Amino acid sequence: MAVSTEREFPRARCGSVMFVYDHQLFLWGGMTQIMLGEGDDRFLVDIDLPDIEKVELTEGPVLEILDLNTHEWREQITYGDIPQMGKGSFHAVKGDKLYLFGGSNDAGFCKGLYQLDLNTYKWDDLSDYSKSPPLSLGGAVVYGTSLLFFGGAGQELKNAKGDYQPCSNLGYSFDYGWNNYLQEYHTVTKHWAEISCEGEKPPPSSRFTLNKIDPSHALLFGGKQEKYTVTYNHVFIFDMENKNWNKVETKSDNWPCERGLHAASVLVDPSSEISYKKQYVLLVWGQGSDAKHVHNAWVLHVQSMEWKQFLLPDDLKPRMYHMSCSYHIQDSQTDVIIFGGNKRRESKYHRNVVTSPIIIRFGSVQPLHELCLAHLKKIEGLQSSALFTSLPPLMQKILTRTNDSQDLTIIYPLDVHFK
């Protein structure tokens, strides 16, 4: 039986799988750092999750789950056919199932397809149906009953319908390069196939973002090839119904710089039939062409293909290899949640980011329960009053938490904070 326990915050990490399901934020895997040794001999070691239990003897691989109403974390142990990939996996959520494909760990690139039931927390290995080579750092979207996996870094697919760019660094002892393959997994028939595409395809690359923007279209931004020497800032629209790519022409100088390992999220629920005309995409930070952190964020209006720079507070330090996803609360409000990543090294003992999430709220209406909580927190001596005992138990629990100061929620209406 899967076991769940409360915890204050999850471990800092980068390259994780992150998604929203049933009013909860889920985190799986990634790479973190642990301190080994003693005294002056201490040193940091990069280690993949879920392999951390091999060092710290924890009970097993876990999902970190954040309740998006109470902002409380819990740790959920999973079981079954546990995936071996640590970071950089393709992932997609369809119904109550998480699908995990590819990724990498200490041994190199991984292949295989895994399914997690989000009700029972049981993993199933679907790798027998996969004909794909080991890949990492690509994109995935859901279309109908199919999962579409695009691009990434890894090994070459023989007789492929897409392009493959081998790495020019001969220091690698294994096949390594970038591709623009489009691979499809049908969740009903369990059929796996490579798909031919029309139009101008993105070049072989990895470290881009691929977001579904409406029921039949996805948007790709940026990416990298040849480590740090080739970096992109292009935009492509993919028609999932007709399997056609269209490159968007750069309209002005007001355009984000080249980057990879960034994060991007949509601000309108992509399941809506009118979302394409109303859709916005938030692009945050990343790694530039000089391999350094990119300090800015942008919002793209999809219908006009116009970018506007988005102002973030100065005290938010840029990061790369972080995760973001959207929580569509109602038509007029979306929360974009950002977690993890790597920021500039501050000392030899500190490289990863803080663990508290950044929540950027698009919409001018603050939920009623948050307004009530904000008012109650201002009442002196509340917890010893009769009013406190009359409050619902969940509200009492939130008001007695000691770590609220570590949660960061930023409320931004959509049409302001541009420059």
Section 10-18 average pLDDT? 89
CB < 8 Å & 24+ apart, contacts of 1-5: 2/76, 2/77, 2/78, 2/79, 2/120, 2/121, 2/122, 3/59, 3/76, 3/77, 4/65, 4/74, 4/75, 4/76, 4/77, 5/74, 5/75
At 346 the pLDDT is 44
What is the rounded distance in angstroms from the CA atom of residue 295 to the CA atom of residue 267?
21
Which region among 22-31, 220-229, 329-338, 349-358 has the lowest average model confidence (pLDDT)?
A: 349-358
Q: pTM here?
A: 0.88
At 380 the pLDDT is 87
More confident call, 128 vs 287: 287
What is the rounded distance in angstroms from the CA atom of residue 217 to the CA atom of residue 325?
18
Which region among 19-28, 135-144, 235-244, 272-281 has the lowest average model confidence (pLDDT)?
A: 272-281
Section 258-283 average pLDDT? 90
At 139 the pLDDT is 98
Q: Are 287 and 230 in contact (CB under 8 A)?
A: no
Query: Percentage of residues in the chain with pLDDT exceeding 70?
Result: 83
User: Phi and psi dihedrals of 224, rounded to 5?
Assistant: -140, 155
Whether pLDDT at 377 is above 60: yes
Whether pLDDT at 397 is above 70: yes
What is the rounded distance in angstroms from the CA atom of residue 338 to the CA atom of residue 66?
12
At 1 the pLDDT is 44
Section 71-78 average pLDDT? 89
Query: Percentage of residues in the chain with pLDDT exceeding 90?
Result: 50
Q: Are 19 and 93 in contact (CB under 8 A)?
A: yes
More confident call, 407 vs 405: 407
* pLDDT band for position 402 (cuts 50, 70, 90): low
Whether pLDDT at 58 is above 60: no
More confident call, 330 vs 152: 152
Q: Report the run of H or E that residue 368 belongs to, with start and end.
A: helix 368-376
At 72 the pLDDT is 85
Instruction: Looking at 136-280, list the stretches that DSSP marks H as alpha helix, in order from N- to C-terminal side.
Output: 275-278
Ordered domains of the chain (ranges, CATH):
9-129 (2.120.10.80)
Section 352-371 average pLDDT? 71
Whether pLDDT at 113 is above 80: yes
For 186-241, how does the pLDDT look when each residue is reduced to its tens digit (9 = 90+)? 999 998 899 999 999 999 999 999 999 999 999 999 999 976 678 999 999 999 99
* pLDDT band for position 276 (cuts 50, 70, 90): confident
More confident call, 16 vs 39: 16
Q: Are 361 and 341 in contact (CB under 8 A)?
A: no
* pLDDT band for position 19 (cuts 50, 70, 90): very high
At 173 the pLDDT is 54
What is the rounded distance in angstroms from the CA atom of residue 51 to the CA atom of residue 54?
6
Average pLDDT score over the chain: 84
* pLDDT band for position 170 (cuts 50, 70, 90): low
User: Phi and psi dihedrals of 116, rounded to 5?
Assistant: -115, 125
Tell me how far CA of residue 270 lies from CA of 215, 267, 333, 334, 362, in angstroms.
Answer: 6, 9, 14, 12, 15
Section 239-247 average pLDDT? 97
Whether pLDDT at 141 is above 90: yes
What is the rounded distance in angstroms from the CA atom of residue 103 to the CA atom of residue 138?
9
At 4 the pLDDT is 55
At 347 the pLDDT is 44
At 111 the pLDDT is 87
* pLDDT band for position 119 (cuts 50, 70, 90): very high
At 57 the pLDDT is 45
* pLDDT band for position 185 (cuts 50, 70, 90): very high
Section 309-317 average pLDDT? 84
